[in-house]
Structure 1
Amino acid sequence: MLDLFLLGFIGLLLACGLKRPFIWVLAYIYIDIVAPQKIGWSIIQAIPVSLIAFLAAFAGWVLLDGKKGSRFTFRQGLMLALLLYCGMTTLTAAFPDSAWDKWDWVWKALLFAIFLPLTLRTKLRLEAAVLFIVLAVGTIAINGGIKTIFGGGGYGTLSLLVDENAGLYEGSIISTVAICIIPLALWLARHGTIFKPDWKVWGFTAGLIFACLLIPVGTGARTGLVCIAVLGVLLLRSVRYRFVYAGAAALAMMAAIPFLPQSYLERMGTIAGYESDQSASTRLAVWEWTIGYAKANPLGGGFDAYRANSFTYQTRTVSGEGASRQVTYNTVTEEGRAYHSSYFELLGEQGWIGLGLWLWLQALGLWHMERLRWRLGKLEGGKRSWQWGLATALQQAHIVFLVGALFVGIAYQPFLFMLVGLQCGLWSYVRRTEEPASRAKFKPCEPKPEAPAPAA
């Protein structure tokens, strides 16, 4: 029954795309994030729904959709360069089998992100893409939030829609992404036209935000707590009453602490004491190994090059207090441990060139959104415009993701490249619609030709 429902929903989206081809783009966003083919039990697993939607999105734009207003931006060129570079390192990868397995989904994430801005020609399309991303991630977050409330959480034990520890269904990754969509959900609640702002929309938005905040609790992911703190600071830039917001946030945090599980509080307490935490010590050792590996292999070792690592380190455990305080050191040897950081993931797999391309892509996106905020903010009522609000939300989501990426290997996560695609689409839209009007406004007036003198 579940398979038939999922297939029916996907079929409905594909059928609607016959009249509006852009819906096929939205269908792929939904499938890529939620992965309904993994949720079902039988029929849907045998149908390549992701590939069908992927091909339909491209074919629909090429054959049926309008091209007026579509622009290829410099950042899309950077993604194309990164895609080609990743293909080159895959051909020479240190571990070819696993490298080709990772390449199978990385190239689709990059190619779709390059393609996505070409379809985002109107405000409605930008809003629809944001809406599908928020609702798709919200599908996972709401499920996890409900299970957390009823005691189904815990580090490595929270069961989401898919019973696997990969992609958006991995605890640290979904904790990061769930916090990322909060500013996008707030933007939809303020400026949405598909679902116009009213008490029902704001009620759903409040519930969705609450569910997103519960995900780091349910998964026990320390990365999620860091992302919440970063988002809290970022929101200070855009809220009207900053002191009221800061006070309300502090009160909410103090009120929530007594209701948090003791296991979650104990795990969050290990953030400061990395020497006693084997997981944190492993990450530091992997990062140190990766730097050495990049020095020996400046062009990178291809996807999953971490499988070559091997290192030994010590952990420190303190027991007792005062005169009975004892410090115990344990020697640990590890092999083939993942990077646990997107930045070191890029460095080890794509070398200094790949890391440089990736960082350039991210930094340019933050700068472009800041430029839009600055330009639109100078206009009368500009800070109340949907463009300013979307630029702010995309920048906040992007920063939160990049902070989470410090501790999780999500450098090629499709959600990140969807954010980049939205930024490119918004950047192109504003330049196309605002700059001509601005140039016309400040264009110097040409002197009118003098009237001919009357005949004598």
Structure 2
Amino acid sequence: MLDAALFLTVMGMFLLGLRRPFIWVLAYLYIDILAPQKIGWTLTPMLPISFIAFLLAFAGWAVADPKAETRFTLRQGILAALLVYCFLSMQWADFPVDAAFKWEWVWKALVFAIFLPVTLITRLRIEAAALVLTLTAGAIIISAGMKTALGGGGYGSLYFFVNDNSNIYESSTLATVAIALIPIILWFMRHGTIFPPDRRVRIFGGALIFACLLIPVGTEARTGLVCIAVLGLLMLRDVKNRMMYLLAAGAVGVMALPFLPASYYERMATLGSVESDQSASTRMQVWSWTLDYAAENPLGGGFDAYRGNEFTYRLPVTREEGGALVTEIENVTDSGRAYHSSFFEMLGEQGWPGLIMWLALHALGLLQMERIRRRWRDREALAEQWQGPLASALQFANIIYLVGASFQGIAYQPVFLMLIGLQIALSTYCAKLDSARLEVERKALRDARRAAASGKPAMP
């Protein structure tokens, strides 16, 4: 039944796209995030639905969308340059087979991030893309949140729709995505038009936010806890009564403590013991190895270059002997360990050029969203009151991603590349409105000058 429902949903979106081709863009967002072809077992895996949706999205834009409004921005140029550089690094990759396997999905994620802003030329389209992204990820989040609430969580034991530790279904990645989506959910609860904000929308949004907060608990992902703390600090900027916010946040945190499982406390306790935690110690060694590797290979080693690392480090190990706990220092040798950081992932795989492009991509996005937030926050017209808050929400999502990416190799994560596409689209849309507004003001000024020169009153 589930397989048939997923298949009919996808086919329905393909058919609706014949009348409204933009729906094919939404179909690709849905398929790429949820991966229904992995959830189903007969019908959905039968066709390459992801690639079909990818081609249909481009075809729909080429046939039906106006090209006069197409803009190619600096950030799209950076994405294109990063795409080309990733392809070039394949030519000298240390592990060509593994690099080719990663390239199969990375190029699609980058190309679609470049293409997405071209299609988001109206408020309705921007909102629809953000809504599909949020609700599709929300389907996974709600399911995992319910399992957590019913006691089915735990590190490595929270089951999702797909038993596949990749993409958004990796536990730490899902925790980061869930927290990053909270500002966007709040925006829909205040400014959405597809589902106008009312009591039902607020109830659903509140429940979805609660499910998002449960994900770091259910997955016991330490990154998720850090992301929650960062989000809490970020939201201080926009709340009206900061003291009440801090008191409410503290009260909610204290009330939640008795309901957290003991395994969660044990897992979070390792945040303060880097030297005695093997996972954290390994990451530090991998990062040190990557810096040394980049010094010798400044252009990077291609995708999955981490497979060539090998190192030995000393780790305190506690064991029970004769009824007493004895701590000894042991040498631990490890090899082929992943970067566990997007910053080091970019440095090791694409070298300094790739890391600089990746950092510039996100730095420009944060600056653009801040500029939009400030320029649009005091506007009084109803049609101009949603841009600033959306820019703020996308900025917060980006910051949370960068925090989570510090401890995960998610530099090319499709969901966050889609969010970058939304940022570019919003920036382009606001620039277009500002340009039109400026043109109207210039025309009015010219008319006033002509009227003054001729001695006639200017036309209103």
Larger CA deviation: 390-399 vs 69-78: 69-78
Letter in 1 for 2:224: G
Per-residue deviation at 1:190? 0.7
Q: Tell me, yes or no, if the aligned pair for 2:377 and 2:389 is still in contact at 8 Å.
A: no
In the superposition, relative to structure 1, how do residues 383 and 274 fare at CA in structure 2: closer, same or farther (>3 Å)? farther
* Structure 1 segments of 4+ aligned residues over 3 angstroms from their partners: 317-320, 324-327, 378-384, 438-445
Q: What's the counterpart of residue 374 of structure 2?
A: 374
Q: What's the counterpart of residue 425 of structure 2?
A: 425
Q: Tell me, yes or no, if the aligned pair for 1:152 and 1:218 is still in contact at 8 Å.
A: yes
Q: Does 1:257 align with 2:260?
A: no
Q: What's the counterpart of residue 207 of structure 2?
A: 207
1:186-205 maps to which residues of 2 (within 5 A)?
186-205=186-205
Cα deviations by residue, 1:191-249 (Å, 9 ceiling, x for unpaired): 11111111111111011011111111111100000000001111111122222111111
- Secondary structure of 1:276's match? coil
Q: What's the counterpart of residue 449 of structure 1?
A: 453
Letter in 2 for 1:15: L
2:274 and 2:455 map into 1 onto residues whose CA distance is 84
Per-residue deviation at 1:123? 0.4
Per-residue deviation at 1:318? 6.2
In the superposition, relative to structure 1, how do residues 434 and 311 fare at CA in structure 2: closer, same or farther (>3 Å)? same
Per-residue deviation at 1:12? 0.8
Q: What's the counterpart of residue 56 of structure 1?
A: 56
Q: Does 1:271 align with 2:275?
A: no
2:135 and 2:346 map into 1 onto residues whose CA distance is 29
1:370 and 1:112 map into 2 onto residues whose CA distance is 24
1:277-426 maps to which residues of 2 (within 5 A)?
277-317=277-317, 327-380=327-380, 385-426=385-426
1:379 and 1:193 map into 2 onto residues whose CA distance is 19
Q: What's the counterpart of residue 171 of structure 2?
A: 171
Q: What's the counterpart of residue 111 of structure 2?
A: 111
Cα deviations by residue, 1:97-143 (Å, 9 ceiling, x for unpaired): 00000000000000000000000100000100010010011011001
Task: Supply the RMSD in Å over aligned alpha carbons.
Answer: 1.8
Per-residue deviation at 1:364? 0.2
Letter in 1 for 2:200: K
Q: Tell me, yes or no, if the aligned pair for 2:308 and 2:335 is still in contact at 8 Å.
A: yes
Aligned residues: 449
- Secondary structure of 1:195's match? coil
- Secondary structure of 1:395's match? helix
Q: What's the counterpart of residue 229 of structure 2?
A: 229
Q: What's the counterpart of residue 82 of structure 1?
A: 82
- Secondary structure of 2:332's match? strand
Per-residue deviation at 1:46? 2.2
Structure 2 residue runs without a partner (length 5+):
none
1:381 and 1:120 map into 2 onto residues whose CA distance is 22
2:198 and 2:67 map into 1 onto residues whose CA distance is 34
Letter in 1 for 2:430: V
- Secondary structure of 1:274's match? coil
- Secondary structure of 2:188's match? helix
1:9 and 1:383 map into 2 onto residues whose CA distance is 33
Structure 1 residue runs without a partner (length 5+):
none
Cα deviations by residue, 1:6-25 (Å, 9 ceiling, x for unpaired): 11000111111111111100
Per-residue deviation at 1:378? 4.3
Cα deviations by residue, 1:153-207 (Å, 9 ceiling, x for unpaired): 1101110000111111111000000111111111111111111111111111011
Per-residue deviation at 1:384? 8.0
Larger CA deviation: 166-175 vs 376-385: 376-385
1:381 and 1:250 map into 2 onto residues whose CA distance is 36
- Secondary structure of 1:330's match? strand
Q: Tell me, yes or no, if the aligned pair for 1:382 and 1:388 is still in contact at 8 Å.
A: no
- Secondary structure of 2:453's match? coil
Letter in 2 for 1:411: A
1:243 and 1:451 map into 2 onto residues whose CA distance is 59
Letter in 1 for 2:47: I
Q: Does 1:6 align with 2:6?
A: yes
In the superposition, relative to structure 1, how do residues 312 and 383 fare at CA in structure 2: closer, same or farther (>3 Å)? farther
Q: What's the counterpart of residue 155 of structure 2?
A: 155
- Secondary structure of 2:449's match? coil
1:383 and 1:8 map into 2 onto residues whose CA distance is 36
Q: Tell me, yes or no, if the aligned pair for 2:379 and 2:385 is still in contact at 8 Å.
A: no
Per-residue deviation at 1:434? 2.1
Q: Tell me, yes or no, if the aligned pair for 2:179 and 2:213 is still in contact at 8 Å.
A: yes
Per-residue deviation at 1:383? 12
Per-residue deviation at 1:382? 9.0
Letter in 2 for 1:274: V
1:108 and 1:236 map into 2 onto residues whose CA distance is 37
Per-residue deviation at 1:319? 8.1
Letter in 2 for 1:149: A
Q: What's the counterpart of residue 247 of structure 1?
A: 247
1:89 and 1:419 map into 2 onto residues whose CA distance is 25
In the superposition, relative to structure 1, how do residues 228 and 283 fare at CA in structure 2: closer, same or farther (>3 Å)? same
Per-residue deviation at 1:436? 2.8
1:355 and 1:249 map into 2 onto residues whose CA distance is 36
Q: Tell me, yes or no, if the aligned pair for 1:377 and 1:383 is still in contact at 8 Å.
A: no
1:383 and 1:286 map into 2 onto residues whose CA distance is 50
Per-residue deviation at 1:375? 1.1
1:235 and 1:216 map into 2 onto residues whose CA distance is 19
Letter in 2 for 1:24: W
